């Protein structure tokens, strides 16, 4: 009974998710959702995955990384090489994308996570740029003109990847390892003094985040027919960063909500890219000036109705900060 009480939220959300999946599947199959909405939906899911994976790095572990588009690019290209050049099935492509991005995360994470704050931000930004420039110069993947990729991303794939991403990140956050990461965010020196292997956990969070960004890259590559290095510049990294910052540094549901909302906004503003970027930049500035914790702070959506039941403990009243 006790186990049921603890896990009913988890199973409830899984069942809800499957219900959502079935409804959308039915809508797509019956042709009630036209191609435009399906596109938006896929794009939304990809953005949610990116936001959730960056949330793990910035929001939970407090490591300010602004090169997330680099992992996204590595995943996109790795999967495209698998399916297009080597003619392997899509599943292999998706898995390779994750593993390749993970390795990239490990390579960049081990040296640069010794840095803090601003320096880490710049190092990750530099990494993202190096990935882009490397892709631009490798003829095997098409250089500046990019690679054409067949459309393979389907709704069951998108849903499965999204669900796994969110479940793994949510459960990681609530595990021993997640708590260790949160303690690093709150105070790295204190966490170190408490015997937490800070380097290990920082790299772990970084690598897991990179893995899911890579998977998102695979879905992206096989949905938009063509991938070019220019799709993965630092503006893409900033896009992802805005989801996390607006949603609340430290809140998974906040990042997800922000990713969904901003995807809708940017779909509407597709024909006015400058206006979109001006709005984005003003959002960044005003959120930081007037509500530096973001919309949700470190609270989760589920804690809104748990509030009354838990007496003390658990809820910190939004006092948590990032870095």
Partner 1 sequence: MELIQQLVNGVSLGSIYALIALGYTMVYGIVRLINFAHGDVFMVGSFVGFYAVTMLGIGFFPALLLAMAACAVLGMVIERIAYKPLRNATRIAVLITAIGVSLFIEYVTIYLRGAQPEAYPSTLLPDRNLKLFGVVISSQSLFILGTSLVLMILLQFIVHRTKIGKAMRAVSHDAEAARLMGINVDNTISATFAIGSALAGAAGVIFGIYYTKIEPLMGILPGLKAFVAAVLGGIGIIPGAMVGGLLLGVIESLVSGLGYSLWRDGVAFVILILILIFRPAGLFGKNVREKV
* Site of interaction with partner 1 (CB under 8 A): 58, 64, 66, 111-112, 114-115, 117-119, 121-123, 125-127, 129-130, 133-134, 136-137, 189, 234, 238, 241, 245, 249, 274-275, 277-278, 280-285, 288-289, 292, 321-323
Shortest distance, CB of residue 81 to partner 1, whole angstroms?
20
- Residue closer to partner 1 (CB basis): 139 or 311: 139
Nearer to partner 1, 207 or 241 (CB): 241
Q: How far is the CB of 269 from partner 1 (least distance, A)?
A: 12
Rounded to 5°, the CA angle 260-263-267 comes to 145
In this complex, which beta carbon is closest to partner 1, that of residue 160 or of residue 278? 278
Minimal distance, residue 240 CB to partner 1, in Å: 12
- CA–CA dist 202, 226 (Å, integer): 34
User: Minimum CB separation from partner 1 for residue 283, in Å?
Assistant: 8
Residue 159: its H or E element: helix 155-173
Nearest distance in Å: CB 320, partner 1 = 12
Q: Which helix (H) or strand (E) holds 180?
A: helix 176-186
Q: Which is closer to partner 1, CB of 159 or CB of 188?
A: 188
Q: How far apart are CA 226 and CA 213, in angstroms?
A: 18
Give 267: exposed, middle or buried? Use CB within 10 Å, 0-12, 13-18, 19+.
middle
Give the burial class of 25: count Cβ atoms within 10 A of its Cβ; 0-12 exposed, 13-18 middle, 19 or more buried.
middle
* Comparison of 165 and 263: residue with beta carbon closer to partner 1: 263
DSSP letter string over 97-128? HHHHHHHHHHHHHHHHTTS-HHHHHHHHHHHH
Are 227 and 38 a contacting pair, CB within 8 Å? no
Q: Closest CB to partner 1 among 100 and 249?
A: 249
Q: Residue 45 or 203: which CB sits closer to partner 1?
A: 203
What number of other Cβ atoms are within 10 A of residue 297's Cβ?
22
Whose Cβ is closer to partner 1: residue 95's or residue 205's?
205
Smallest distance, partner 1 to C-beta of residue 274, A = 5
Angle at 165 between CA 4 and CA 17, to 5 degrees: 55
Terminal C-alpha separation, the chain: 39
Query: How far is the CA of 8 from the CAs of 173, 211, 253, in angstroms?
Result: 17, 28, 18
Q: Cβ 279 to partner 1, closest distance in Å?
A: 9
Q: Identify the three-state secondary structure at position 226.
A: strand
**Taking the complex as a whole, how short is the minimal distance between the CB of residue 190 and partner 1, in angstroms?**
8
């Amino acid at each position: 009974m006790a186990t049921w009480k603890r896990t009913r939220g988890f199973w409830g959300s899984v069942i809800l998710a499957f219900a959502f999946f079935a409804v959308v599947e039915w809508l797509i199959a019956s042709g009630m959702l036209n191609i435009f909405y399906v596109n938006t939906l896929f794009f939304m899911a990809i953005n949610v995955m990116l936001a959730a994976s960056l949330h793990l790095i910035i929001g939970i572990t407090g490591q300010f990384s602004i090169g997330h588009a680099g992992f996204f690019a590595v995943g996109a290209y790795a999967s495209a090489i698998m399916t297009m050049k080597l003619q392997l099935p899509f599943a292999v492509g998706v898995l390779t994308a994750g593993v390749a991005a993970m390795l990239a995360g490990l390579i960049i994470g081990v040296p640069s996570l010794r840095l803090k704050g601003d320096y880490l931000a710049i190092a990750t930004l530099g990494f993202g740029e190096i990935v882009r420039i490397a892709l631009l110069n490798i003829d095997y993947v098409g250089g500046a003109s990019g690679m054409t990729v067949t459309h393979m991303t389907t709704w069951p794939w998108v849903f499965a990847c999204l669900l796994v991403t969110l479940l793994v990140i949510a459960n990681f956050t609530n595990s021993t390892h997640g708590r260790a990461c949160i303690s690093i965010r709150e105070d790295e020196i204190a966490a170190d003094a408490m015997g937490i292997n800070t380097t290990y956990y920082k790299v772990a969070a970084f690598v897991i985040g990179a893995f899911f960004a890579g998977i998102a890259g695979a879905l992206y590559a096989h949905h938009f027919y063509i991938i070019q290095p220019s799709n993965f510049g630092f503006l893409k990294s900033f896009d992802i960063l805005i989801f996390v910052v607006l949603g609340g540094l430290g809140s998974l549901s906040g990042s997800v909500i922000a990713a969904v909302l901003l995807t809708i906004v940017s779909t509407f503003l597709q024909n006015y890219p400058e206006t979109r970027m001006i709005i984005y930049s003003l959002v960044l500035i005003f959120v930081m000036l007037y509500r530096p914790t973001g919309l949700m702070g470190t609270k989760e959506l589920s804690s809104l109705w748990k509030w009354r039941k838990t007496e003390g403990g658990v809820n910190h009243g939004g006092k948590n900060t990032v870095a």
